[in-house]
């Protein structure tokens, strides 16, 4: 059932927050969207080795449209956040997740420029 919900790189969007919408409260405009992305099966692979990994998976990506119309994407690599636990198994899975994120964002950028 989860596989049917997975997209590119076996990831799925869990939650989307229009963070830019908050700027209207102060009379400003900002086009920024925050996405919470992951996969429960990947999260379980990590958290079974150390439940504290649940603090960082699923992960967040912030997409910001600048005034000139260009787009900026900000995110933390899971391996950089999960390395603090010193667990080789968690870090190995997190590094694989780093590559999935990079491939997903590369594919998204290529599709956007077509």
27: left (phi over 0), alpha (psi -120 to 50) or beta: left
Tokens of 1: 């059932």
Residue pLDDT, tens place only, 41-100: 999 999 999 999 999 999 999 999 988 888 899 999 999 999 999 999 999 999 999 999
Helix (H/G/I), strand (E/B), else coil: 11 = coil
Q: What is the pTM assigned to this prediction?
A: 0.83
Report the 10 Å Cβ neighbour count for 100. Answer: 19
Q: Please say whether the beta carbons of 78 and 90 come within 8 A.
A: no
* pLDDT recorded at residue 1: 60
- CA distance to 13, 23, 43, 114, per residue, from 57 (Å): 12, 27, 6, 31
Give the CATH number of the domain where residue 30 resides: 3.30.310.70
Host domain of residue 19: 2-112
Q: Please say whether the beta carbons of 56 and 36 come within 8 A.
A: no
Q: Say how many domains are in the chain.
A: 1
Q: Which residue has the higher pLDDT, 111 or 53?
A: 53
């Amino acid at each position: 059932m989860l596989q049917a919900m997975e997209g590119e790189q076996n990831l799925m969007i869990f939650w989307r927050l229009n963070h830019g919408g908050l700027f209207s409260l102060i009379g400003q405009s900002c086009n920024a969207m925050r996405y919470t992305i992951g996969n429960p099966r990947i999260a379980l692979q990590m958290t079974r080795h150390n439940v504290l990994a649940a603090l960082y998976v699923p992960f967040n990506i912030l997409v910001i449209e600048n005034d000139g119309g260009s787009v900026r994407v900000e995110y933390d690599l899971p391996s950089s956040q999960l390395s603090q636990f010193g667990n080789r198994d968690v870090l190995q899975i997190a590094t694989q997740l780093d590559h999935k994120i990079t491939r997903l964002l590369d594919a998204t950028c290529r599709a956007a420029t077509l």
